[in-house]
Amino acid sequence: MTMEEGPEPNLATHHHLLDWLEDSASFIPSIPSFFDEPYTEIDLNPYEWWNHDHENQQQSTQTPASSTAITTPTTTTTTTTNQTTIRKSEYTTKKRKQPEEQSTRSQQGKRRNNTDSEEGGVDNEEDGGGGEVQRKPGRKVQTKGSGSGSGNNGSKDVRWAEQLLNPCAAAIHAVNLSRVQHLLYVLNELASPSGDANHRLAYHGFHALKRHLSSAGLAAAIPSGNLDGGSGTPCFATTEPRLFRSALIKFHEVSPWFALPNSLANASILQTITQENRPKSLHIVDIGVSHGIQWPTLLEALTRRQGGALSLIRLTVVDSATAPRPFSASPSGYDFPSHLLRYAKSLNLNLQITKTENLSSITRSSDEILVVSSQFRASNSLLLRSIRDLDPDLVILTELEDGVGGSGSGGFTEEFGRRTGVLWRFLESTSAAFKGRECAERRVVEGEAARVLDGGVGEGRDEWEGRMKALGFMELAFGEEAIDTGRALLRKYDGNWDMRVAAATGGATGTTGVVLAWKGQSVSNCTLWMLAGTTERR
């Protein structure tokens, strides 16, 4: 990825994140800026500047065991950075073979050149008389080394990986070990951590089925021989901190998978503050998977708030409120609080960051607005009750969708089928997001997403929606500004992404849940909730 100076970036989307990163790097002397280095896998070494951040972490954050918190001073720190923009890499275009000089017209008319498979499977035919190039639809051949998506818009007839994985799951459920072994042999031959979405899904599904067999006491069904062990599959917890951070930022740039829910959440927080009668401090409880990437944009927006900046902004990061979910882990040594505190200082904001592992340790003051932002946790009843006990002013829930619906209470075969569907949409969308190009950042996010095969899709909306209402929550409508901001953001990404809004019910106005969809199938659902009676307290 080439870093060059260019035109001013889109101020409504990513420039605040870039400012945060540039500001963070400027506080570390003698270390090259993140944006001064070419975007290559090799340049991810060395990582000495993370050691510096790790030393600052103990001084910049407050833990539950400590009775004090580090806050940023309200004095303004002026930091001068070179404005840079990230320009998309110019990927290799179609390659054509040159005709031989002595070829006859008939020979040239028959000569056809295949284009790169990720360019859409088009053949070129050169006419020797007029030099005119005619393009005819060609056959797209999938190979293990192909970096393209699935082709044919992801229709069922080309999703062959699921047609092997799901029958294998059914055979495991039926304890048909001979069929299990046969399908695993086939999957092992076709699976690859690179290539198109089918090969990558086969790779991750193959290893997920092996893990399930081992945990179910059916390890004897795993074929012996030279099988890929899958031990090299990266995930968030095992990634170097700098590569982890780079993967988060790159994925946020090229895919709305998390960028859209984050944008909706930030806009809703700003709307809640605006509705208050008098300025208060803001307290955000982060039970999410953004790892700090979500908050720079919100902090910058708070500086432009009418009525002046808030007196105090508290961010409480909940590390282990539940069993680890996909995308929730982070590597040891990753320190986003120190970067975020520096960025807040440059904006003259009074930010305080606290980490905790227990929601019961969180306290709130009477003059603060308490917002809970939770991602992929609504299936945990105990967690939802703990959120209820905090008496929040606003709860933002973002949940994975399986694109099918239902309760999610079926057996292993049905559950595994739902999970493969979720991972398919992730892998196919990342093929489009990264233009089929292999890179370390893509492997990291895809390896982490593959953890959904071991569990993590959760329940359908009907289940957790009913649970929220039983706890005394009522659903709120998104404001028009939040919806407009989300739609504007979505236009930056691949045209196969879509945003659906649900009509408000029960006398509410506006729109309620917002669904992010890939090729017409749901990916995630973002909703707003408030305890009944909260409006009267304001």
Mention every residue, 6+ apart, whose C-beta is less than 8 A from residue 162: 201, 417, 420, 421, 424
pLDDT at 125 over 50: no
- pLDDT per residue over 335-373, tens digit each? 999 999 999 999 999 999 999 988 989 988 888 999 999
Q: What share of the chain is helix, strand, coil (3-state, %, to 5)?
A: 40, 15, 40
Question: Residue 316: phi, psi to the nearest 5?
Answer: -105, 115
Between CA 330 and CA 317 the distance in angstroms is 13
pLDDT band for position 401 (cuts 50, 70, 90): confident
How do the domains of the chain map onto residue ranges? 10-70+256-405+460-537, 158-233+409-454
Q: Which residue has the higher pLDDT, 486 or 63?
A: 486
With tokens 């849940």, the residue in question is 513
In 3D space, the residue among 325, 327, 323, 332 whose CA is nearest the CA of residue 294 turns out to be: 327
For residue 483, give the 3-state DSSP assignment: helix
pLDDT band for position 457 (cuts 50, 70, 90): low
Between CA 45 and CA 249 the distance in angstroms is 17
Which amino acid makes up residue 380?
A: N
- pLDDT per residue over 144-192, tens digit each? 444 444 444 444 548 999 999 999 999 999 999 999 999 999 999 999 9
- Residues 384, 390, 395: CA angle, nearest 5 degrees: 60
pLDDT at 243 over 70: yes
Q: Which residue has the higher pLDDT, 396 or 102?
A: 396
pTM here? 0.71
pLDDT band for position 441 (cuts 50, 70, 90): very high
What is the CATH number that goes with domain 10-70+256-405+460-537?
3.40.50.150
Predicted pLDDT at 505: 54
Predicted pLDDT at 142: 42
Predicted pLDDT at 32: 36
In 3D space, the residue among 4, 51, 9 whose CA is nearest the CA of residue 297 turns out to be: 9
